[in-house]
Structure 1
Amino acid sequence: MLIGANMVREAFSNDGDDAKQQDLLAKMDVRSMSVLALTMSLDALAVDVSLALGHRLVIWWAALSAALVSLAITVPAMFAGHRIGHKIGSKGGAILILLGLFELLQYYKVL
């Protein structure tokens, strides 16, 4: 929920952050994107291992399916984010806040 709130705050702030964000995006090269992709893959692998241990899944199938789903979601999201990311940041933050509230209400068995 905090990340979503920060996204909404950043979407409505007009304190010259656009120049800083453009400078940061200009510095993103293949090497830095590869490091980010590796960290995301390691995170997905950790989830897959825990799923495989808990549900007796074949680890390679779980890892491959997570990698393909991550690829299928990430590539279109990168292109869409490049085109409309500056216009839709507040809506993404609101979605994250709502998902956080939903999980919190489920945890406390309100829903």
Structure 2
Amino acid sequence: MEFVTILLIAVSLAMDAFAVSISNGVSVKGFGKKQAATQGLYFGGFQFLMPVIGWVLGSSVKTYIESIDHWIAFVLLAIIGGNMIRESFGDDEEESGQSVLTAKVLLLQAVATSIDALAVGISFAILDVNIWWAAGIIGVVSFVLSFCGGMLGKGLGNFLQAKAEFAGGAVLILIGIKILVEHVFLGG
């Protein structure tokens, strides 16, 4: 898988964390660079770890599903992307009501925002992607966007939250379509 595709997947996966980071920046009293870096480490760490776990799970079943692997990758990415788009229209008030950013809150947010990366890791195993390289890119991108999202949230409010999640979902669906087209029509 080419670098640009991995980077687009990384940005798409980080949109949930970015949206939550904006919300944290808006709602957490005294939010600053330290809190932005801390949430970036949580989100980036889990966005790195979850694709690796998914890749291990996907590798164990790969030989049984090689003939339909491109369809599985497409369906997983379409479901993840569609869910992100659906959630972008929802009301996320419960996430923005935090007044203190504790380790427990960050852990729950990091796990919740990285579940999609688990499914992407399964797709990576099916597609023979170098998981360490891909997970590294995903983790770094998630850290950067989470840090920036927190700092942006401090000044911009909830305006960007739904739009970022919608964009991330749309990009994942487009990447799923690209994988399907490459395998079905272009013999990739």
Instruction: Give the percent of matched residue pairs that are identical in Structure 1 and Structure 2.
Output: 20
- Which 4+ runs in 1 deviate beyond 4 A? none
Find the aligned partners of 1:72 and 1:39 in 2 and give their Cα distance. Answer: 18
Secondary structure of 1:25's match?
coil
Please say if residues 88 and 162 of structure 2, whose CA atoms lie closer than 8 Å, have aligned partners that are also in contact. Answer: no
TM, length-normalised to structure 1: 0.53
Structure 1 residue runs of 5 or longer lacking an equivalent are 11-16
Shift of residue 89, structure 1, vs aligned partner: 4.9
1:33 aligns with 2:106: yes
Find the aligned partners of 1:45 and 1:21 in 2 and give their Cα distance. Answer: 22
> Whose RCO is larger (CA < 8 A, sep 6+)?
1
Find the aligned partners of 2:123 and 2:144 in 1 and give their Cα distance. Answer: 22
Shift of residue 91, structure 1, vs aligned partner: 7.1
> Could you report, residue by residue, the CA deviation over 1:37-70 in whole angstroms, capped at 9, with x for unpaired residues?
134345324312322x232122222221111111
Secondary structure of 1:6's match?
coil
1:84 aligns with 2:148: no
User: For 1:67, which of 139, 142, 146 is the aligned residue?
Assistant: 139
Structure 2 residue runs of 5 or longer lacking an equivalent are 1-84, 178-188
1:96 aligns with 2:156: no
Shift of residue 81, structure 1, vs aligned partner: 1.5
Which structure has the greater CA radius of gyration?
1
- Structure 2 letter corresponding to 1:33: L
2:185 is matched with which residue? none
Aligned residues between the structures = 88
